[in-house]
Structure 1
Amino acid sequence: MPSMNLPTSFGPFSALPRDASPRLRIIQNCQMGIAVLAVVAAFFTLVIPSERKFFTLSLLYTPLLTSITTVYLVRREQRRAVAGTLSKQRYIKYQCFKMAAAIGMSIIGFIGHVASTPAKGDAHFAGERGLWISGVKINTWQGLLLWLNFFNWVFLWASLFYSCCMTGRQQGSIALTGEEARIGINPEEADDEAVARALQAEDPNWQG
């Protein structure tokens, strides 16, 4: 019987077909995870008493704003993958939209960050080590927020590079079963699972 493109619950945020590429699933889960972490981090920043609260929150403006468009486009990718209409060309277009929207949102976030910069910075003594941004010494929590912002861009660029490397079918939806992104791998060198499926398909006694 032909397999249906039913969504699967593998992964905390995944709504992809059961035969979806693990690489595609990982990238989407990471992007959705960044969005969730940004919201959680913003909540803790607001409720926990601390100095420079608005400055600390401004470090999250970029991941929070970029997550709005990223989550929307990831859900579009997943719906088209389930429907079997996610072509390579359309997937590349989504990644370009993600990057363009992220750059635009980051500009807004940077403006908000500048507006939240305190007029008076922290005292900076000679020989004192640490990271300083806009005259404010970055503490451990603020450093974690900067890492969150860093990985937000890492996964956005990863999805863009992945879209250029993946192998699409000549017609129809993208090859979701592991044919994409075979960089440096000979076509004959399929993985064990693919070989097993091929042998099963050639066995006349095997019934799908």
Structure 2
Amino acid sequence: MRTLFLHPPSFDGFDGGAGSRYQARREIRSFWYPTWLAQPAALVPGSRLVDAPPDGLTLDDVRPLAREYELCVIHTSTPSFRSDCRVAEALKAENPGLTVGMVGAAVAVAPEASLRASPALSFVARNEFDFTVQEVAQGRPLSRILGLSYRVNGHVEHTVERPVLENMDALPFVTPVYKRDLTVEHYAIGYLRHPYVSLYTGR
């Protein structure tokens, strides 16, 4: 499936600028790399990662992208969840055939409530979602994908948990995704020289 990984546009008062999408606006502009979305993006050939907050993209900017993809994976958080649902609904309205899923701790701990919060959401990939999302993008039946909660016939189904990843070497580097899809100069942390690069070598 043609796949878009999306850090959604921010709402006023929230910049969503951390790798885990939790930072609030403040007097110092700071954006972290979207590492947790870059990792599954590196597993899905031909995918694209759009990090809307540091690029200053609005909903009007990202809405047309829905027509170019079959699958959109949105990273959400507790403070941004309602806003992110509205983004999902706008994308779905633009392309009714688009499958939209969410990842992140906020939906992992409450997958059923999250799916019921918006009819635009088709699935939640729980906990370590890298290979879960990869299998969704490969078009595998949702019922056979571990670590997934999904909507079917008006109700929510949950597959068994995916085992914790023990071999980190199974994951590709995220830096090619950074180079391909991100503007490095848009990322900054006040205590580091600019520009900088951040990636994880363990969990």
**TM-score range normalised by the length of the shorter chain:** under 0.3
- What TM-score results when the alignment is normalised by the length of structure 2? 0.22
- What TM-score results when the alignment is normalised by the length of structure 1? 0.22
More helix by share: 1
